[in-house]
Amino acid sequence: MTDLHLSLDRSAGRLAAQIAAGFRAAVRSGRLTAGTRLPSSRDLARDLDVSRGVVVTAYEQLTAEGFLIARRGDGTRIAPLARPDEGAGPPPRPPARPAEPRAEPAVLYDLSPGQPDLSAFPRERWIAAARAALRTLPHDALAYPDPAGVPDLRAELASYLGRVRAAHADPGRIAIMNGVAQGLSGLLGQLRADGHTALAVEDPTSVRQLPMLAAAGVRTVRVPVDEEGLDVAALARTQARAVLVTPAHQYPTGVVLSPARRAALIAWARDADGVILEDDYDAEFRYDRDPVGCLQGVDPDRVVLLGSVSKSLAPALRLGWALAPPFLAEGLREHRTHTDLGAPVLEQYALTEFLRGGGYDRHLRTMRRRYRARRDALAGALAENLPGARVHGVSAGIHLYVELPGGCDEDEVVERAARAGVSVAGARAMWSPRRAEDAPPALVLGYAALPEPRLVKAAQLLGQAVAHGGGG
Ligand SMILES: Cc1ncc(COP(=O)(O)O)c(C=O)c1O
């Protein structure tokens, strides 16, 4: 039988005993483990081409020996303590030593950046969207999908990105990717094949992305960010003809790329025959001003817009998109064809329904209100409890960049905060080693996941950590 790998010698007779021996051997070898559910006696009899009574006899024997447990409604399973016959198998393992108590302090207030409020995931509406999709999908839709993404989702996204991000959005230019991360690695492979040897990256930047970029085999060149965003003049002095930027809300400083710099960046791309990879990671969340349209809408033949639902819904969905010039969009389709044959289809259709039915817009409106209140609470509590700190990047996103008072030791503040139960990220690792030396000590604080009173309490504890970390 294929599943359980029980082989029977029919000429030898005693089929029930052979089946029982086969199960014992499988348990002994570790091939069948405690809790494994076995097929019903009827199914196994059919698979082995024996009478059902033979299997029932084998199961009864093994149950009597303690190998199997049969419970009404739960079928027959390998027993938790099923052991080989006495003396027939390996000696029982000594009981595991109790784990050492963990030295790390408990995280009571998690302000690490990058996480949306996962408790706000619209479960019911998502289920409704998934159910609606599944009810109406033709059977054919369950075949291998278009590797660039199902056409319905690309059409919905094109309409959404055009409306909300002022993108030049044509479904034919969209490739559905497993998040910005996969979009980036797929694009970098193509750029390398097209002769790009270097990628310019903002300084500071997301530390999570650096190893991904390294794995894609491109050399990164760091370009400073100042209060207007990426320093385009410095970019022009590098050899790079491709740049990865976060214009809507620079990660991590929160700076919005100024209008002059936007224009300069587009001009650079045209002069250098360059490509701009626009990471739009949290652009949905703008609080005090109208959203700035994406750069892609200004020059769709030079800019790739990368986005995902990781911050707007949940990173676990691994659903994102690249809106790219046709040759790169086609390259991404090929990339998926050659690597994984496309994204899971049911999730793509659920997101299609969610967009189409207005659920996505409604969810974003709710979250914008919620995050704005949280931002206000944290920014206010920081002003009170860390009066010497300078808070940046408040107008958008789901994190703040907090420059600590001069004289603070960033590592010590992070450490003291952790001991008080507050998990925060220090900013130094986000800077290039050269600029990290001069970068003021700073923290990057994600505020999306905590309600206001907890943010206020966390800020009080942070204030104490700073006071004892050289900033008091
Ligand atoms: C700035 C930035 N962009 C993009 C990503 C990746 O996002 P996604 O979940 O869409 O792959 C991250 C993840 O940490 C990030 O920090």
- Report whether 197 contacts 221 (CB < 8 A): no
Residue 173's nearest CA partner among 162, 185, 188 is: 162
Domain 123-357 has CATH 3.40.50.300: no
Question: By alpha-carbon position, which residue is closest to atom 14 of ligand 1?
Answer: 208
What is the pLDDT, as a whole number, of residue 414? 97
Mutate to test the pocket of ligand 1, among 209, 212, 282, 347 (most ligand atoms within 8 A of CB): 209
Residue 225's nearest CA partner among 200, 199, 197, 196 is: 200
Average pLDDT over residues 121-134: 97
pLDDT at 470 over 90: no
Ligand 1 centre distance from Cα of residue 308 (Å): 8
Report how far residue 306's alpha carbon sits from residue 326's, in angstroms, rounded to the nearest whole number: 14
Residue 152's nearest CA partner among 120, 182, 174 is: 174
Nearest atom, ligand 1, residue 246 CA: 1
Maximum distance among all Cα pairs of the chain, rounded to whole angstroms: 88
What is the pLDDT, as a whole number, of residue 288? 83
Average pLDDT over residues 387-414: 95
Per the listing, tokens 């027993």 go with 79
pLDDT at 86 over 50: no
Residue 460's nearest CA partner among 354, 381, 379, 346 is: 381
CATH fold of 10-78, please?
Answer: Arc Repressor Mutant, subunit A (1.10.10)
Neighbours of 34 (CB within 10 A): 12
Mutate to test the pocket of ligand 1, among 112, 180, 213 (most ligand atoms within 8 A of CB): 180
In this structure, of 33-47, 184-198, 255-269, the range with the lowest mean pLDDT score is 33-47
Ligand 1 centre distance from Cα of residue 241 (Å): 22
Ligand 1 centre distance from Cα of residue 69 (Å): 47
pLDDT at 383 over 90: yes
CATH fold of 109-116+362-471, please?
Answer: Aspartate Aminotransferase, domain 1 (3.90.1150)
Report how far residue 203's alpha carbon sits from residue 252's, in angstroms, rounded to the nearest whole number: 9
Kindly list the domain boundaries of the chain, sorted by start residue: 10-78, 109-116+362-471, 123-357
According to DSSP, residue 469 is labeled I
What is the pLDDT, as a whole number, of residue 298? 97
Ligand 1 centre distance from Cα of residue 279 (Å): 8
User: What is the torsional sign of CA 186, 188, 191, 192?
Assistant: negative
Ligand 1 centre distance from Cα of residue 315 (Å): 9
pLDDT at 81 over 70: no
pLDDT at 98 over 90: no
Nearest atom, ligand 1, residue 184 CA: 11
Ligand 1 centre distance from Cα of residue 446 (Å): 14
Mutate to test the pocket of ligand 1, among 212, 255, 279 (most ligand atoms within 8 A of CB): 279
What does the radius of gyration of the chain's CA atoms come to, in whole angstroms? 29
Residue 303's nearest CA partner among 318, 286, 317, 323 is: 323
Ligand 1 centre distance from Cα of residue 13 (Å): 62
Question: By alpha-carbon position, which residue is closest to atom 15 of ligand 1?
Answer: 206
Report how far residue 218's alpha carbon sits from residue 249's, in angstroms, rounded to the nearest whole number: 24
Mutate to test the pocket of ligand 1, among 250, 281, 309 (most ligand atoms within 8 A of CB): 281
Two tokens, residue 103 = 């030295």
Ligand 1 centre distance from Cα of residue 384 (Å): 31
Q: What are phi and psi of 237, to 5 degrees?
A: -85, -5
Interval 201-259: pLDDT, tens:
999 999 999 999 999 889 999 999 999 999 999 999 999 999 999 999 999 999 999 99
Ligand 1 centre distance from Cα of residue 316 (Å): 12
Nearest atom, ligand 1, residue 182 CA: 11
Cα distance from N-terminal residue to C-terminal residue, the chain:
72
**Residues having CB within 6 Å of any atom of ligand 1:** 114, 179-181, 206, 208-209, 246, 251, 279, 281, 308, 310, 315, 320
Ligand 1 centre distance from Cα of residue 180 (Å): 6
Q: What are phi and psi of 37, to 5 degrees?
A: -85, 135
